[in-house]
Amino acid sequence: MMWLALSISPYPQVSVKASAVFRVIPAGGASEWPYASTGPQLRQLLDTFGTRRVLWAGASTRALISSS
């Protein structure tokens, strides 16, 4: 899905939400908080969209649902 987000970056009205990073951990990546292995993915989003078009969202409700 990352390629799709990156492919629509030229459209200035499009923003992306970075959320639930624990769901996109690369194979062999750190599976414990702070999920350092997702850093390159987040960096690519920031580099492509810029800081004004990337929204950060917590995933506390999804984490609670996943753990029940």
pTM given for the model: 0.64
The predicted-structure confidence for 19-47, as pLDDT tens digits, reads as follows 766 666 666 666 666 666 677 888 888 99
Angle CA 35–62–9, to nearest 5: 65
For the chain, the straight-line distance linking the first and the last C-alpha, in angstroms and rounded, comes to 27
Whether the Cβ atoms of residue 16 and residue 49 lie closer than 8 Å to each other: yes
pLDDT top residue among 60 and 42: 42
What ranges do the domains of the chain cover?
2-8+18-24+32-67
The reported pLDDT for the residue numbered 23 is: 66
Question: What mean pLDDT do residues 46-57 have?
Answer: 90
Quote the pLDDT of residue 50: 93
Query: 50 vs 32, which has greater pLDDT?
Result: 50
Average pLDDT across the chain, whole number: 75
CA distances from 68 to 37, 54, 61, 63, 65 (A): 25, 30, 11, 9, 5
